[in-house]
């Protein structure tokens, strides 16, 4: 089986086209695994030795940034930000866009700047490779500070929540875990913030439109040449 290795190199449009068009599976390189783990280790050490507020880790979010969060509630905070922001509306978006969002989110986290667990990224990779596609809705993105609602819906299945499209059916995240033999990911400090911050929703649409336009241009040139 052919795999595309996710590493520190930039993901080119040609790479994305190759992965999507040929249904190539992906995997983390040893380099990316080390970068992700190193950042997580740094963050855990920082939390254990730091007494000052760190935004989004031991504080609330947005206007609640002055609210302190106890160490015993750090993980719950990250789960709650995903649950609270999963409020998208409208029709569900096409499966090929969801697939692209998963790929882009994995790539973003692979640089090792987000403080997530390797297990969290690996679960997203498993979802991509197994065509486990979270149900994401059309409306709810803020864009400027992150595609918060769409990425919250993307992340719900990590917790055993939300809905996914799998093998032609829409099932719950809880049912998915039973079918796949998966356990919900126990999110650690900062992970919810890392999963929600990003523009993978709008980027996926932009990339899909760019690739589709490029294909149409190539076809138009061929048709034009044949007509001469």
Residues assigned a catalytic role: 55
> Are the beta carbons of 78 and 187 closer than 8 angstroms?
yes
> Are the beta carbons of 188 and 48 closer than 8 angstroms?
no
CA pair distance 115, 100, nearest whole angstrom: 22
CA distances from 107 to 27, 110, 140, 169, 182 (A): 10, 5, 23, 27, 22
- Token pair, residue 2, equals 């052919």
CB-count burial class (<10 Å; 0-12, 13-18, 19+) for 64: exposed
């Amino acid at each position: 089986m052919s795999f595309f290795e996710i590493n520190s190199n930039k993901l080119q449009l040609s790479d994305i086209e190759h992965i999507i068009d040929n249904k190539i599976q992906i995997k983390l390189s040893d380099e990316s695994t080390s970068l992700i783990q190193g950042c997580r280790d740094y963050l855990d050490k920082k939390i254990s030795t730091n007494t000052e507020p760190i935004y989004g880790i031991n504080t609330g979010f947005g206007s609640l940034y002055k609210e302190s969060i106890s160490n015993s509630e750090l993980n719950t905070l990250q789960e709650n930000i995903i649950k609270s922001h999963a409020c998208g509306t409208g029709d569900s978006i096409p499966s090929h866009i969801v697939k692209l969002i998963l790929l882009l989110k994995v790539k973003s986290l692979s640089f090792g700047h987000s403080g997530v667990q390797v297990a969290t990224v690996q679960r997203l990779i498993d979802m991509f490779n197994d065509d486990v596609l979270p149900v994401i809705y059309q409306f709810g993105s803020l864009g400027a500070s992150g595609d918060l609602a769409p990425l919250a819906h993307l992340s719900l299945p990590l917790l055993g929540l939300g809905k996914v499209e799998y093998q032609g059916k829409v099932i719950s995240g809880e049912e998915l875990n039973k079918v796949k033999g998966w356990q919900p990911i126990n999110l650690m400090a900062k992970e919810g913030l890392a999963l929600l911050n990003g523009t993978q929703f709008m980027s996926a649409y932009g990339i899909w439109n760019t690739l589709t336009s490029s294909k149409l241009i190539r076809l138009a040139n061929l048709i034009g040449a044949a007509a001469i």
